[in-house]
């Protein structure tokens, strides 16, 4: 399915990243901007050059295709296409996330020294245009204030005048005391004037430049640079003809528009019930989440929730909490104001319920207030009052996640956090909209950590973690000994056992297992050797269905343990067409004997796809002409476990590639089962087969599986991340032509169509044929053979993905 | 005459899903035979409409055993269609990989897929290791891994295995069958090498992986050349390759060849009676150029064992027909025009083949309307008869050692002997080709890819990649229209050998080779397996179809009886 997302902001990227995890979905972002999606929240940083465009460019999954410079002008919902002036994009599902357009009070498109504040271009214009000018900002809301704050920190502007039409700042509900405080803070900069109850009445132009601005109150501003921060309108002109719209595109609680194949989220969407329009990042991502869930067939609904917001200004701390049903015009609203020095807490209460809180330099526990709103609990004014002095948690640092300063300090101290990255396991602060990341980093830098105490704490933590691991190892060994009474493992020497038995290090463990000698302490080696050798043999049936024998051929190339040891010692490969001695009646009798004698005990390995077309008769096995499907069903029903080996058995693989002439499917689909263990690959590296089987031999259970039922120890590595050529990718050193100088030097193959970024497997770590080589090493690149049939329909070519999709 | 039908399905120790049905008379002599491919996948259908440059990676998946062969043939077909000539280094690397595959494939075939038809593992348990050591010296001056201690180890390993009670792969073999002729000691020697060969085939795979990234399903070819340029500039990698091949050569001359001579001695009678002899028509397309001129294999066509007359090989004389195969359109057509749609007429109710009508997914390729046998035997026959300097010395040495005449090779045992000789000579010529590569690199020829601008290549064209591959002549035929694959067809060695009967009722090679064979015990048709295995069947390759109209890709019909 092809999902087209129109838009170039946080909501679009959030959607695209979440959707691109689904391998069967092709995700395309169509953006009118000339730059890849970036984070508008941090645009201020571009104005004062504290950030670069790269720094605010949003991370996008490489599977997502991005089409830039495509301003969508219309939707053709019958043909399921969106149209720009130059192109048409087909979609199966469309998601509109175009956000909004900034408003301006008059047309500024042909004026050099006027701008709005919404895009990278705007920032460039402002940064360049404001130098030594009398900057005029029109507006009173958050955008205008944040911009004012940015310009204040920068000495480029000669003067700055904020022209406010009415007599409030930030929001009409904000109390006069707070307004005055904010004004005082800003006007402490002699360049800044905040001009209430005023408006531009005239401007004088010369050669596309305003050289003078005249205001209602008679203010004359010469040589100005004008910036509009007056508000935003949903950016949905292109959708008005096709979809039901009001202010925004009307959506239901699943974010679905009047056309069921089209969703709309973020600032462009308006809820049909209640008219809500999102304004905050958290709301936009929540809506995106709802739309994704609905696409996946789930039905969570979007309901406006309590919003927590902060104004991103450095000069003062500002927090705003709003209940979803807050109605500013309700005559029953009462304001409770608690102020102390430069701290002001403003509570708006309606019938004993808290509806809004706006705090400046506040220490109040916002989470408590939030839950008051959510629970719709009656308020206790006494609590507000006593709360005034409480400052346990300190200021709110992250408004998206509701994390306060002291909570963070505690985490930083306790865990000895020294960088933003180290904080991740303990707190999500700074990771949703990213607005406060800088504050969080500053806090980390400012929080002293006693090295001695931190070390002790760390030691204690490690000791308890180790104890946990040891307990796990003991449990494993006990289980092993229960299963193998004749081959007891020693419970001593736990330190070595730890390295190899601890599940999180399964990869290392299997490398050491599978390299047989295991490179471990000699004592331990002896123990495990004893354990694995001469085990009760596990009977194995290996069925070849619609296959090419590639996996069998790969299997006999296994080493450590070698295939002869494997066959003669560890496994009882009782039925395997490629290798077994008997044929015809003899092989079929052998099969029947295993099915009967080892019912419920044998492992079934299936190689090849299952053709369902022609009633399954594209494949028949045995003298009675049993179809492949019937044989599979018969053998699978008595198996202790079923392993689908190779990409064909996984989802049909190459046999099911378009147009899938034989109606081939994978084993799980053919059997309608969800417990099939998948080992995709074309062919699958024998290390991964043997490792998985050895795990079963030792513990009678399979290693931990991922969501596609693949063993995590082998499939949780993205090839690109562990690629030997990754350094060249990062340096942008690419092979551009087969056999060129880059190829001779082993540069990155991404431009030659390597699909390593889209493939999850351990090839780059274990390689093939006893670690001799792998497709990237021989300069060809990966085509994601382990990703199943999608590899053969989309990846098996020597071109980057973008080129391919032109054909659609 | 009273006849009885025997169905053998599955034929194991081959690639793919093959069934053999034979009709035997009162004396257990085979009077008629039918070979049937029981799996259809339609890879060629999948290839239609794709970018020609992408054909290789998908066509490769036709088979995981001959994997590199299809990859190469497919890419070469596209190169021919576009008139792209690959640089010498690319051709050498392709040859190194393909010929290594010959060696790997032949060794796996003989030991792991075939030898159990002749080697009785249970008999080896009773062998005297000291006597076995001596016995091995009768066939080779320095037999491979032949110390008494080693043989004792092997015997112990096998004994423990059998004692443990689970025979696994070796369960329900034909152990004790009267057709087994080797002595306990000979069985032990062969079993020893069965196990050693597992290591050897793994080692050759490493050599292949040096240039091809991995095997099965190597990944180093692109239209215009090869990608593994860094490998040829790395002396360590070249050296690794040579050392592996050196080891393998040791194994071939000290184990494979002597074991084959031992086998000939033991089964000489079957050679004299011509057991497993087919029509005597052989076909080869030649190939694998030497830098000093000439080719490793000769092309030509031999008919009815007439070694004095070798007709030139002409690919345009190849047709395929489907009168007995589960496809529409029975008439013989050239591979470019191949027009066939699945037309499945099912099996009988009891699961047996409808031997009077269509009975297999394998089509019937013919050369000038005649059945041909392809493979190592055909190559050795043609090369020897054309007096090829690359082949004759090896054949003569072997014939002298085994006291075989040329006609003796056209038997079940002889096919294996021809394969062993071929493995030996391929191994030797790998060294020559490697020195050519080193010479080129030494004189600064590092080119591995011929540049072309894809957009300016012809939109419509056709081409073929025809190669000798381990099992015989392989042809991939591609027709390009509008820059996309319009038609794709693979005529594969096993298609020739496993061919069904045709409209003129000419039997395919498998079928013909079985006629007149006597079964000692019809419930244990070991003799059939021997003969069929001697061809080294590879069924996944053999079954294919193309729908030239490109419209109804998944159409099939079930005929009512």
Picking from B53, B110, B172, B193 by the largest number of A CB atoms within 10 A of its own CB, the best residue to mutate is B172
Are residue B149 and residue B114 in the same domain, yes or no?
A: yes
Helix (H) or strand (E) holding A6: strand A2-6
Comparing C-alpha atoms, which of B217, B201, B70, B230 is closest to residue A770?
A: B201
Residue in chain A closest to B547 (alpha carbons) equals: A661
Q: What is the pLDDT of residue A537?
A: 67
Residue B404 pLDDT: 96
Is residue A497 scored above 90 in pLDDT? no
Contact residues for B126 (Cβ-Cβ < 8 A; gap 6+): B184
b/e per residue A491-528 (b: at least 16 CB within 10 A): eeebebbebbbbeebbbebbbbbbbeebebeeebbebb
CA pair distance A694, A571, nearest whole angstrom: 9
The boundaries of the domain holding residue B106 are: 86-166+181-276+411-451
Banded model confidence at residue A276, pLDDT cuts 50, 70, 90:
confident
The answer as to whether B281 is a domain residue is no
Asked if residue B485 and residue B427 are part of one domain, the reply reads no
Q: Are residues B70 and B145 in the same domain?
A: no
ipTM field: 0.92
Among B residues 179-218, those touching chain A with beta carbons less than 8 Å apart:
195, 198-199, 201-202, 205-206, 208-217
The CATH number of the domain covering residues in A719-805: 4.10.480.10
Which chain A residues touch B66 with a CB distance below 8 Å? none
Query: Which whole number is the average pLDDT over B407-422?
Result: 97
* Mean pLDDT, all residues of chain A: 84
| pLDDT value of position A793 | 93
Structure tokens at A479: 């289980």
Q: Is the pLDDT of residue A500 over 50?
A: no
Q: Are strands A2-6 and B364-367 parallel, antiparallel or unpaired?
A: unpaired
> A114-230 adopts what CATH topology?
FAD/NAD(P)-binding domain (3.50.50)
- pLDDT tens digits for A619-649? 999 888 999 999 999 999 999 999 999 999 9
DSSP letter at B254 equals I
Q: Residue B469 and residue A400: Cα distance in Å, rounded?
A: 65
Average pLDDT of span A125-140? 91
- Cα distance between residue A602 and residue A575, in whole Å: 11
Kindly tell me the number of DSSP H helices and DSSP E strands found in chain B: 19, 12
A558 to chain B, closest Cα gap in Å: 8
Tell me: pLDDT of A26 over 90: no
Q: Are residues B435 and B548 in the same domain?
A: no
CB-nearest partner of B351 from A549, A619, A624: A624
Segments making up each domain of chain A, as ranges: 2-102+234-295, 114-230, 454-530, 535-715, 719-805
Could B64 and A659 be called an inter-chain contact, meaning their C-beta atoms sit closer than 8 Å? no
Nearest-CB residue to B216 (from A554, A571, A773):
A554
Fold of A535-715: Rossmann fold (3.40.50)
> In angstroms, rounded to a whole number, what is the distance separating the alpha carbons of residues B452 and A796?
20
Res. A313 pLDDT band, cuts 50 70 90: low
Cα–Cα distance measured from residue A440 to residue A432, given in angstroms and rounded to the nearest whole number: 13
- The 10s digit of each residue's pLDDT in B24-72 is 999 999 999 999 998 888 888 899 999 999 999 999 999 988 889 999 9
* pLDDT for position B541: 59
Which pLDDT does position A505 carry in this prediction? 42
Residues B464 and B445 grouped into a single domain: no
Architecture of domain A2-102+234-295: 3-Layer(bba) Sandwich (3.50)
Same domain, yes or no: B478 and B360: yes
Tokens 């599978």: give the residue.
A514
Does A451 have pLDDT greater than 80?
A: no
Answer whether A625 sits within 8 Å of B351, measured CB to CB: yes
CA distance to partner chain B, nearest, from residue A755 (Å): 13
Q: Is B57 within 8 Å of A780 when comparing Cβ atoms?
A: no
Q: Give the minimum alpha-carbon distance from A653 to chain B in angstroms, rounded to a whole number.
A: 10
From A183-197, A649-663, B152-166, the region with the lowest mean pLDDT? B152-166
Contact present, A173 and A146 (Cβ < 8 Å): no
Nearest CB partner across the interface for A772, out of B38, B206, B554: B206
B77 with B94, same domain: the answer is no
Binary contact (A739, B43; C-beta < 8 A): no
Q: For B209, which of A585, A664, A768 is closest by C-beta distance?
A: A768
Strand duo B18-24 + A641-645: pairing: unpaired
Q: Average pLDDT, stretch A342-355?
A: 88
The verdict on a CB contact (< 8 Å) between A549 and B58 is no
> Which of B169, B227, B352 has its CB closest to that of A581?
B169
Decide if B202 and A557 are in contact by the 8 Å CB cutoff: yes
User: Same domain, yes or no, for B417 and B472?
Assistant: no
Q: In A, residues 579-598, which contact B (CB 8 Å cutoff)?
A: 579-590, 593
- Select the more confidently predicted residue: A564 or B555: A564
A422 vs A426: CA distance, rounded Å: 8
- Each residue's pLDDT tens digit, B308-317: 999 999 988 9
Task: Kindly state whether residues B424 and B465 are assigned to the same domain.
Answer: no
Residue B367: CA atoms inside 13 Å, Cβ hemisphere, count?
A: 24
pLDDT tens digits, one per residue of A188-230: 889 999 999 999 998 888 888 999 999 999 999 999 999 998 8
Query: Do A4 and A98 touch, CB atoms closer than 8 A?
Result: no
pLDDT digits (tens, 9 = 90+) for B107-129: 999 999 999 999 998 899 999 99
> Is A629 an interface residue toward B (CB < 8 Å)?
no
Number of H helices, E strands in chain A: 29, 36
User: Are B225 and B245 members of one domain?
Assistant: yes
Confirm or reject contact between A681 and chain B (CB < 8 A): no
Residue B403 lies in a domain: no
Residue B43 at interface with chain A, using a CB cutoff of 8 Å:
yes
Tally of domains within chain B: 2
Would the CB atoms of A738 and B39 count as touching at under 8 Å?
A: no
Q: Can you tell me which residue has the tokens 């000939």? A: B264
Residues 6+ apart with CB under 8 A from A107: none
Query: Which CATH number characterizes residue B488's domain?
Result: 1.10.645.10
Both B109 and B208 in one domain: the answer is yes
Q: Would you give the distance in Å from CA A673 to the centre of its chain?
A: 29
Q: Distance between terminal CA atoms of chain A?
A: 12
Alpha carbon distance A753, A774 (integer Å): 16
């Amino acid at each position: 399915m092809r999902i087209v997302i129109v838009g170039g902001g946080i909501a679009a990227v959030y959607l695209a990243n979440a959707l691109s995890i689904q391998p069967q979905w092709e995700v395309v972002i169509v953006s009118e901007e000339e730059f890849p999606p970036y984070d508008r929240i941090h645009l201020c940083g571009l104005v004062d050059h504290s950030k670069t465009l790269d720094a605010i460019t949003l991370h996008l999954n490489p599977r997502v295709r991005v089409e830039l410079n495509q301003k969508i002008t219309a939707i053709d919902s019958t043909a399921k296409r969106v149209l720009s002036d130059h192109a048409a994009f087909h979609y199966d599902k469309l998601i509109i996330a175009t956000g909004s357009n900034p408003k301006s009070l008059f047309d500024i498109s042909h004026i050099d020294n006027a701008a709005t504040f919404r895009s990278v271009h705007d920032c460039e214009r402002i940064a360049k245009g404001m130098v030594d000018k009398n900057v005029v900002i029109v507006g009173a809301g958050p955008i205008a204030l944040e911009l004012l704050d940015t310009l204040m920190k920068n000495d480029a502007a000669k003067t700055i005048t904020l022209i406010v039409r009415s007599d409030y700042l930030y929001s009409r509900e904000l109390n006069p005391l707070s307004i005055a405080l904010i004004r005082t803070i800003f006007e402490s900069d002699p360049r800044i004037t905040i001009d209430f109850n005023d408006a531009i009445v005239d401007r004088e132009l010369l050669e596309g430049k305003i050289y003078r601005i005249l205001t209602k109150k008679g203010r004359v501003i010469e040589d100005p640079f004008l910036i509009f921060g007056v508000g935003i309108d949903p950016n949905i002109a292109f959708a008005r003809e096709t979809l039901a719209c009001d202010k925004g595109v009307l959506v239901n609680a699943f974010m679905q528009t009047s056309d069921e194949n089209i969703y709309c989220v973020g600032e462009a969407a308006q809820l049909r019930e209640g008219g809500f329009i999102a304004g905050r990042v958290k709301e936009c991502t929540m809506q995106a989440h709802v739309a994704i869930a609905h696409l996946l067939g789930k039905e969570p609904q979007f309901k406006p929730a309590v919003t927590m917001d902060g104004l991103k200004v450095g000069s003062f701390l500002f927090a705003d909490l709003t209940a979803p049903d807050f109605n500013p015009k309700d005559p029953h609203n009462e304001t409770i104001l608690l102020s102390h020095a430069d701290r002001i807490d403003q509570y708006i209460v309606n019938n004993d319920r808290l509806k809004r809180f706006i705090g400046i330099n506040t220490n109040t526990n916002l989470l408590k207030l939030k839950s008051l709103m959510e629970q719709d609990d009656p308020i206790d004014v006494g609590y507000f009052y006593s709360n005034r002095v409480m400052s346990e948690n300190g200021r709110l640092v992250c408004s998206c996640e509701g994390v306060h300063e002291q909570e963070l300090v505690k985490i930083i101290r306790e865990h000895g956090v020294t960088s933003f990255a180290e904080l991740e396991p303990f707190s999500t602060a700074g990771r949703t909209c990213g607005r406060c990341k800088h504050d969080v980093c500053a806090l980390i830098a400012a929080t002293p950590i006693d090295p001695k105490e931190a070390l002790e704490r760390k030691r204690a933590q490690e000791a308890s973690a180790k104890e946990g691991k040891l307990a796990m190892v003991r449990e494993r060994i006990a289980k092993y000994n229960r299963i193998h009474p004749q081959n007891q493992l020693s419970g001593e020497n736990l330190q070595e056992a730890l390295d190899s038995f601890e599940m999180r290090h399964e990869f290392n463990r299997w490398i050491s297992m599978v390299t047989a000698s295991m490179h471990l302490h000699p004592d331990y080696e002896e123990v495990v050797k004893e354990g694995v050798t001469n085990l009760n043999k596990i009977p194995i049936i290996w069925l070849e269905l619609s296959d090419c024998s590639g996996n069998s051929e790969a299997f006999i190339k296994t080493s450590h343990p070698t295939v002869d040891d494997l066959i003669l010692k560890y496994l009882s490969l009782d039925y395997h067409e490629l290798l077994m001695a008997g044929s015809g009646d003899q092989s079929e009798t052998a099969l029947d004997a295993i099915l009967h004698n080892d019912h419920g005990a044998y492992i079934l390995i299936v190689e090849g796809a299952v053709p369902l077309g022609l009633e399954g008769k594209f494949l028949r096995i045995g003298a009675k002409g049993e179809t492949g499907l019937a044989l599979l069903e018969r053998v699978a029903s008595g198996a202790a476990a079923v392993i689908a080996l190779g990409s064909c058995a996984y989802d049909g693989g190459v046999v099911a590639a378009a147009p899938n002439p034989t109606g081939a499917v994978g084993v799980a689909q053919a059997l309608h089962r969800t417990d099939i263990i998948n080992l995709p690959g074309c062919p699958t590296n024998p290390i991964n087969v043997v490792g998985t089987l050895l795990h079963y031999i030792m513990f009678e259970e399979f290693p931990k599986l991922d969501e596609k039922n693949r063993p995590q120890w082998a499939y949780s590595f993205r090839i690109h991340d562990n690629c030997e050529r990754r350094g060249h990718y990062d340096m942008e050193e690419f092979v551009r032509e087969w056999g060129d100088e880059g190829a001779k030097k082993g540069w990155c193959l991404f431009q030659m169509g390597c699909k390593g970024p889209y493939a999850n497997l351990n090839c780059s770590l274990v390689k093939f044929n006893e670690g001799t080589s792998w497709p990237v090493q021989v300069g060809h690149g990966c085509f994601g053979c382990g990703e199943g049939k999608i590899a053969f329909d989309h990846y098996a070519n020597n071109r980057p993905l973008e080129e391919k999709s032109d054909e659609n | 005459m009273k006849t009885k039908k025997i169905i053998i399905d599955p034929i194991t120790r081959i690639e793919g899903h093959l069934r053999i049905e034979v009709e035997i008379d009162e004396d257990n002599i085979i009077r008629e035979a039918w070979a049937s491919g029981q799996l259809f996948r339609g890879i060629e259908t999948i290839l239609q409409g794709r970018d020609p440059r992408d054909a290789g990676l998908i066509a490769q998946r036709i088979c995981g055993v001959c994997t590199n062969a299809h990859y190469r043939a497919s890419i070469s077909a596209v190169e021919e269609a576009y008139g792209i000539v690959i640089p010498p280094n690319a051709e050498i690397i392709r040859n190194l990989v393909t010929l290594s595959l010959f060696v790997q494939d032949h060794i796996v075939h003989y030991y792991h897929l075939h030898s159990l038809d002749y080697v009785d593992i249970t008999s080896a348990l009773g062998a005297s290791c000291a006597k076995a050591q001596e016995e091995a010296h009768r066939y080779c001056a320095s037999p491979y891994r032949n110390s008494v201690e080693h043989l004792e180890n092997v015997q112990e390993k096998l004994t423990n295995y059998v004692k443990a009670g689970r025979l696994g792969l070796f369960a329900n073999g034909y152990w004790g069958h009267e057709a087994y002729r080797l002595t306990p000691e000979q069985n032990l020697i062969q079993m020893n090498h069965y196990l050693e060969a597992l290591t050897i085939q793994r080692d050759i795979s490493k050599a292949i992986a040096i240039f091809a990234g991995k095997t099965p399903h190597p990944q180093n070819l692109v239209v215009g050349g090869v990608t593994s340029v860094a490998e040829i500039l790395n002396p360590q990698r070249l050296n690794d390759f040579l050392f592996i091949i050196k080891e393998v050569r040791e194994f071939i001359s000290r184990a494979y060849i002597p074991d084959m001579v031992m086998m000939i001695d033991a089964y000489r009678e079957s050679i004299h009676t011509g057991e497993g002899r087919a029509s005597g028509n052989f076909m080869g397309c030649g190939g694998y150029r030497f830098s000093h001129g000439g080719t490793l294999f000769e092309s030509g066509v031999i008919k009815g064992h007439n070694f004095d007359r070798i007709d030139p090989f002409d690919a345009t004389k190849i047709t395929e027909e489907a009168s007995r195969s589960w496809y529409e359109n029975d008439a013989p057509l050239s591979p470019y025009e191949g027009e066939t749609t699945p037309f499945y007429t099912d099996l009988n109710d009891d699961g047996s083949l409808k031997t009077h009508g269509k009975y297999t997914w394998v089509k019937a390729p013919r050369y000038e309307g005649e059945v041909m046998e392809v493979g190592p035997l055909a190559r050795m026959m043609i090369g020897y008869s054309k007096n090829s300097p690359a082949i004759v010395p090896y054949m003569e040495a072997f014939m002298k050692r085994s006291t075989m005449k040329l006609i003796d090779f056209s038997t079940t045992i002889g096919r294996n002997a021809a394969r062993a000789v071929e493995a030996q000579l391929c191994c030797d010529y790998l060294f020559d080709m490697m020195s050519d590569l080193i010479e080129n690199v030494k004189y600064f020829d590092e080119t591995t890819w011929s540049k072309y601008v894809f957009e300016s290549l012809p939109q419509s064209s056709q081409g073929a990649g025809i190669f000798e591959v381990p099992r015989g002549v392989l042809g991939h035929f591609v027709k390009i229209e509008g820059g996309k694959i319009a038609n794709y067809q693979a005529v594969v060695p096993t298609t020739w050998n496993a061919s069904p009967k045709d409209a003129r009722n000419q039997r395919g090679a498998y079928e013909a080779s079985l006629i007149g064979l006597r079964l000692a015990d019809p419930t244990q048709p070991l003799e059939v397996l021997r003969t069929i295995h001697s061809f080294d069947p590879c069924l996944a390759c053999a079954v294919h179809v193309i729908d030239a109209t490109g419209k109804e890709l998944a159409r099939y019909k079930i005929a009512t009886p």
